[in-house]
Amino acid sequence: MDAEERKAFGARVAQLRKQRGMKQEELGAAIGRTSSWVSQVERGVQPVVRLDVLQLLADGLGVSVQVLSPDAPTAPAGAPVEAATDEPNDLDEARLLISGHPALDVVLAEEAAEIPDLPALTAAVDEVWALTHAARFAELSSLLGRLVPRLERAARTGDPEARRDAQTLLSATYQALAAAFVRQDEADAAWLAADRSIRAAEMSEQPLQVFAGIFRLAQAFVRLKRLDQAEHAASSAVNALKPHTTGESVEPEALSVLGSLHLVLALVHARAGQRIQAREQIANARAVAARLGEDRNDFNLEFGPTNVEIQAVSTAVELGDAGEALDIGQSIDPTTLSAERRSRLLMDLGRAHAQRRHIGEALDSLLRAEELAPETVRTHVAARATIRELVLIAGRAAPPELLGLAERANVSE
């Protein structure tokens, strides 16, 4: 199924859904999929070529498979539905991946069937993070389906040093998966992925990797609105790490993790409406970034002076201080950071403009954010709420660009 075929199929799904007065969330619930999955199908991002999934989608829409996809093969009566050629799935495939043990064959076997190729696995983990930062979740999920079982096997076979190396890679992979789940508002899955990353990090004997995993765990708790758990996880990690970051000769990786934990605490306090505590944590993060003296990407945290200011913008927006957010944002040059970080800054600036009812500026920021990371903007809870608010503010005068964005983010219904 090429790009044009996916778009045509997605348009047919959207038309049938709207004819039945269903929202994407309702169709997703009816067929056991997320609204994000439905949205990606309708936009032609997510291919649907398996006959069993086509049947499921057709049943949810109340039509036959042939109405939904005229070229689909017809299964003989009473025959089991077989899967057609599989293609990349979205993060629903990744949810299934972590819904159990991914290497049961190794648990029962005495020796591995193959010797792990650690350089190849390392390159694959680097690609995992590149896809995560770019918010290319369908490709990410497809890659993880092949990679995670290989890593889990490698972490249990071979000599002790190779096992530790594989555990390090496994921890980094689960951290990427946790970050992706958070951005897709799949916080329960993010919790599980983060917890697995922490275990793998401890098995790898890489203590700082453990703390990086706790950062991902705290993010999952924030998305779950379990702010007490997020604060406990992050503050406990800060208290344990701080004594090891004093003096002149401190590992920059330790400072990156410490500063990131301060940033997640700032978010926790901002979500709780605790202005003083949120600002204190931003100040703490700025102090750590000043000691670091540069933007780094240790453990894919992208911590440094620039990211601190991006988070300061986000914190100000969360607290309703739109003017402060816009003032800080004007001084930031995010060009060295990932597309995800740059998109997040633009998204938060769009939210700040929306708080001030600057429709044109807000729309411009959101559209530029969408260009950088389409999936992040179209699925992020705060972004979608802002788009909905802009549509309500504009009313009948809403520009077509705003209505198009609302349609892509599924907030126009």
Cβ-contact 204, 164 below 8 angstroms:
yes
| 359, 365, 367, 369 alpha-carbon torsion, rounded to 10° | -150
Domain covering 3-68 in this structure, CATH number: 1.10.260.40
Residue-level pLDDT at 72: 64
Q: 243 CB contacts (<8 Å, ≥6 apart)?
A: none
Q: Is 19 left (phi over 0), alpha (psi -120 to 50) or beta?
A: alpha
DSSP secondary structure, 339-388, as one string: HHHHHHHHHHHHHHHHHTT-HHHHHHHHHHHHHH-HHHHHH-HHHHHHHH
Provide the token pair at 335: 């060009």
Residues of the chain with CATH 1.10.260.40: 3-68
Q: Taking every pair of C-alpha atoms in the chain, what is the biggest distance, in angstroms? A: 74
Provide the token pair at 376: 């992040």
Alpha helices (runs of H) in 184-251, residue ranges in sequence order: 187-203, 207-223, 227-241
Residue-level pLDDT at 64: 84
Provide the token pair at 35: 């609204």
Band (113; pLDDT cuts 50, 70, 90): low
Is the pLDDT at 79 greater than 60? The verdict is no
Band (292; pLDDT cuts 50, 70, 90): very high
Average pLDDT for 322-338: 93
Helix (H) or strand (E) holding 411: none
- Phi/psi of residue 113, nearest 5 degrees: -80, -15
pTM of this prediction? 0.77
Provide the token pair at 308: 């601190």
C-alpha span between 368 and 372 (Å, rounded): 7
Cβ-contact 253, 298 below 8 angstroms:
yes
Higher pLDDT: 281 or 117? It is: 281
C-alpha span between 135 and 184 (Å, rounded): 9
Band (326; pLDDT cuts 50, 70, 90): very high
Query: How many residues in the chain?
Result: 413
Residue-level pLDDT at 76: 46
How confident is the model over 54-67, as pLDDT tens digits?
A: 888 888 888 888 88
Provide the token pair at 180: 């992706």
Residue-level pLDDT at 199: 95
What are the angstrom distances between the C-alpha of 180 and each of 128, 176, 227? 10, 6, 20
Helix (H) or strand (E) holding 204: none
In the chain, % of residues over pLDDT 90: 52
Distance of CA 79 to the CA centre of its chain: 38
Q: Say whether 73 sits in a helix, a strand or coil.
A: coil
C-alpha span between 295 and 386 (Å, rounded): 29
